[in-house]
């Protein structure tokens, strides 16, 4: 087909004209990372809530730092990297003029950025086309993929004449067949048969809007254009409807339909192995199981069964358990003058009551905005250390959506409920340094969330006559979607005063504002973050010559007393086993 790039204007027009779109696959033939409009396309999709993937493959040889940042900032969901070797010499035999070391270095850069952004996206897959000259590196490539945090997928070569496999038994054990001809002999169907389902599930559109139908087609189109004729009309054009009937064996081939000259269709024609409607429904997510589940959801027992499953299902934290500790933080952070934004992780993990709990600090230079207004499933607190910034808060409950601008100054912080759209932009000459806390629990209680709010840490001195030598001032308290209670207070602890170790039935985060604190056998200084895990004993002492001021956040989890009581009973395991029978219903 014709060479070219998808333009931002064409993509924007397509999205605007088709608000029903939720996911778009960007890659196929060619290298999408060379598209000069790709960053704008990612931004446009992110702002409109459309998920993008690049699962058909990129070679990842050439990619700018700005684009790497954009892949994470605008949340490309997944990406497949075509890496057909595990060494420079082997890789270059198939990917001519490519550099294996450049690809691996770009993957490592992306992983570091994902870690800095505390993001799981894009999820990466290593795709390995097995050939005669690289088959011996298949185990090494799989191990390298694991070390890089990538999924691994091996596939058979399109061309049996180019570097045919040498150890057929080894490749057959790894992939189920030695080549595509062997696959057809063993299983009775063409290896590329799955591509035919694209005509129903995800019709392919070329960069210029012409309809290609499937991801394999590069030699013809179906006579319609998604940009000029409309997406729905073009993917259901007479040519597309005829092709679907051909693949089902309902209509004979017709000249001008790309499928008529495809080897996969020729195999169907020769052997009479047509697609079936049940296969098509299954590929579209409409399998018999899915349809049965849809009927089960309508029954009166479904809500009760789902609640039983959720009550007894095993807890699976997203990340390792956090332990109590002091996390030093040097403020101001060194800004990134080129990008305007830099992030530094403080801690990330899970707790007894929180499936995911992260903390990071960021610095924004003047005029920089880290991302467009976005919403996420985590609840969040943002505390400004220095500089000034304007917050953009978007109330999605109003129609049309209302945007509110709030000026944030040092010592102020804001709370965002889950799903509340927001962003910020630095307005001062001095870069804005801020701390963020984000947490998530699997399954919250909608409708009981503390509203968003702006709060200020009150300056106060310790009162000599106050019990324990400290004074507190509550800033806010209330239930949230994920917490029974979120509590915050500011405390001033007089010099030489403190309190004895004790245990809390909730997680605690303390941000030191002024002075010094001694806890957990170490000293914490201004801007340091202290974390106390549920049930860990901890005390506090001010060893300095002046009063210490700090901010306290308490995260009271929602685990009920009944659930805690039931966990230790002898009958709990068999009840859980009974609940597993309802797993399919509960997860649906």
pLDDT in tens, 451-483: 889 999 865 444 444 555 789 999 999 999 899
- Of the pLDDT bands very low, low, confident and very high (cuts 50, 70, 90), residue 158 is confident
Please compute the mean of the pLDDT values over residues 271-276 and round it to a whole number: 87
Extract the runs of DSSP E, i.e. beta strands, from 396-484: 402-408, 412-416, 421-426, 432-440, 453-456, 470-478
Please give the helix or strand (H or E) that residue 277 lies within, else none.
Answer: helix 277-283
Does the pLDDT value for residue 315 go beyond 60? no
Please give the helix or strand (H or E) that residue 562 lies within, else none.
Answer: helix 561-567
> What are phi and psi for residue 96, nearest 5 degrees?
-60, 135
CATH number of this structure's domain 1-188:
3.20.20.70
- Of the pLDDT bands very low, low, confident and very high (cuts 50, 70, 90), residue 288 is very low
CA distance 543 to 510: 17
- Buried b / exposed e across 163-182, counting CB within 10 Å, b at 16+? bebeeeebbbebbebbbbeb
Q: What residues have CB less than 8 Å from 229, skipping those under 6 apart?
A: 237
Phi/psi zone of residue 137: left (φ > 0), alpha (ψ -120 to 50 degrees), beta?
Answer: alpha
- Of the pLDDT bands very low, low, confident and very high (cuts 50, 70, 90), residue 576 is low
Q: Give the CA-trace dihedral at 168, 170, 176, 178, to 10 degrees.
A: -20
Centroid of chain to Cα 451: 25
Residues of the chain with CATH 3.20.20.70: 1-188
Domain 325-556 has CATH 3.40.50.2000: no
* pLDDT at 124 (0 to 100): 94
Does the pLDDT value for residue 18 go beyond 80? yes
Write out the two tokens for 28.
Answer: 């196929």
Write out the two tokens for 355.
Answer: 């499936």
* pLDDT at 191 (0 to 100): 85
Is residue 317 within 8 Å of 350, Cβ to Cβ?
A: yes
pLDDT tens sequence across 418-449:
888 899 999 999 999 999 999 988 766 655 57
- What's the Rg (C-alpha) of the chain? 29
Q: What residues have CB less than 8 Å from 549, skipping those under 6 apart?
A: 457, 459, 460, 490, 491, 492, 493, 512, 513, 514, 515
Please compute the mean of the pLDDT values over residues 285-292 and round it to a whole number: 45
Q: Which of these ranges, 101-110, 208-217, 283-292, has the smallest mean pLDDT?
A: 283-292
Helix/strand number for the chain, H first, E second:
18, 26
**Of 572, 525, 529, which is closest to residue 548 (Cα–Cα)?**
525
Residues of the chain with CATH 2.60.120.10: 325-556
* pLDDT at 401 (0 to 100): 55
CA distance 357 to 378: 9
* pLDDT at 298 (0 to 100): 62
Q: Which residue(s) pair with 425 in the sheet?
A: 390
Work out the percent of the chain whose per-residue pLDDT is above 90. Answer: 53
* pLDDT at 284 (0 to 100): 47
Does the pLDDT value for residue 342 go beyond 80? yes
Mean pLDDT of the chain: 85
Extract the runs of DSSP E, i.e. beta strands, from 285-388: 325-327, 341-349, 356-364, 379-386
- How many Cβ atoms sit within 10 Å of the Cβ of residue 264? 19
CA distance 221 to 204: 10
* pLDDT at 97 (0 to 100): 87
Does the pLDDT value for residue 61 go beyond 70? yes
* pLDDT at 276 (0 to 100): 85
- Of the pLDDT bands very low, low, confident and very high (cuts 50, 70, 90), residue 317 is very low
Tell me how far CA of residue 60 lies from CA of 42, 101, 124, 131, 153, in angstroms: 17, 11, 11, 20, 16
pLDDT tens sequence across 21-36:
889 999 888 899 999 9
**Dihedral sign (CA 338, 341, 346, 347):** negative
* pLDDT at 543 (0 to 100): 94
CA distance 282 to 284: 5
Burial of 493 (0-12, 13-18, 19+ CB in 10 A): buried
Q: What residues have CB less than 8 Å from 68, skipping those under 6 apart?
A: 106, 109, 110, 113
pLDDT tens sequence across 387-401:
999 999 876 554 445
């Amino acid at each position: 087909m014709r060479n070219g790039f998808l333009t931002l204007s064409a993509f924007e027009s397509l999205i605007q004209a088709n608000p029903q779109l939720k996911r778009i696959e960007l890659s196929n033939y060619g290298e999408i990372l060379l598209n000069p409009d790709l960053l704008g396309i990612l931004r446009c999709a992110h702002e409109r809530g459309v998920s993008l993937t690049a699962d058909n493959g990129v070679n990842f040889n050439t990619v700018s730092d700005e684009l790497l940042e954009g892949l994470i900032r605008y949340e490309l969901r997944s990406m497949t990297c075509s890496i057909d070797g595990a060494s420079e010499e082997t890789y270059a035999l198939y990917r001519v003029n490519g550099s294996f070391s450049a690809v691996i270095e770009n993957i490592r850069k992306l992983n570091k950025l994902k870690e800095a952004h505390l993001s799981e996206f894009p999820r990466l897959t290593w795709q390995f086309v097995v050939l005669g000259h690289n088959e011996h590196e298949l185990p090494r490539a799989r191990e390298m993929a694991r070390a890089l945090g990538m999924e691994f997928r091996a596939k058979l070569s399109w061309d049996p004449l180019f570097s045919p496999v040498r150890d057929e038994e080894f490749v057959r054990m790894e992939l189920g067949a030695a080549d595509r001809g062997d696959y057809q002999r063993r299983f009775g169907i063409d290896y590329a048969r799955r591509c035919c389902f694209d005509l129903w599930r995800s019709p392919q559109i070329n960069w210029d809007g012409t309809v290609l139908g499937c991801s394999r087609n590069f030699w013809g189109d179906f006579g319609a254009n998604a940009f000029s004729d409309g997406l729905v009309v073009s993917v259901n054009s007479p040519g597309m409807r005829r092709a679907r009937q051909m693949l089902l064996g309902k209509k004979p081939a017709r000249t001008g339909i790309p499928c008529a000259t495809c080897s996969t269709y020729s195999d169907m024609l020769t052997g009479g192995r047509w697609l079936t409607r049940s296969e098509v429904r299954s590929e579209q997510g409409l399998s018999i199981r899915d349809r049965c589940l849809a009927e089960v959801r309508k029954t009166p027992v479904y809500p009760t069964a789902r609640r039983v499953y959720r009550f007894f299902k095993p807890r699976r934290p997203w990340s390792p358990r956090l332990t109590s500790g002091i996390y030093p933080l040097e403020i101001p952070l060194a800004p990134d003058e080129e990008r305007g934004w830099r992030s530094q992780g403080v801690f990330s993990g899970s707790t007894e009551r929180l499936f995911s709990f992260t903390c990071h600090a960021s610095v924004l230079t003047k005029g920089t905005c880290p991302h467009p207004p976005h919403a996420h499933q985590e609840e969040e607190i943002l505390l400004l250390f220095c500089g000034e910034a304007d917050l953009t808060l978007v109330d999605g409950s109003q129609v049309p959506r209302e945007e509110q601008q709030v000026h944030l100054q040092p010592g102020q912080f804001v709370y965002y409920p889950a799903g509340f759209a927001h962003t910020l932009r630095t307005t001062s000459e001095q870069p804005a340094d801020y701390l963020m806390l984000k947490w998530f629990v699997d399954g919250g209680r909608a409708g009981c969330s503390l509203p968003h709010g702006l709060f200020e840490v009150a300056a106060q001195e310790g009162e000599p006559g106050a019990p324990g030598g400290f004074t507190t001032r509550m800033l806010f308290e209330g239930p949230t979607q994920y917490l029974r209670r979120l509590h915050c207070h500011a405390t001033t602890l007089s010099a030489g005063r403190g309190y004895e170790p004790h245990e809390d039935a909730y997680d605690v985060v303390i941000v030191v504002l002024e002075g010094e604190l001694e806890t957990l056998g170490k000293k914490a200084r201004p801007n340091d973050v202290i974390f106390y895990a549920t049930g860990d004993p901890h005390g506090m002492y001010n060893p300095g010559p002046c009063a210490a001021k700090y901010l306290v956040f308490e995260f009271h989890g929602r685990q009920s007393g009944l659930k805690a009581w039931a966990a230790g009973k002898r009958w709990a395991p068999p009840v859980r086993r009974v609940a597993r029978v309802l797993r399919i219903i509960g997860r649906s």
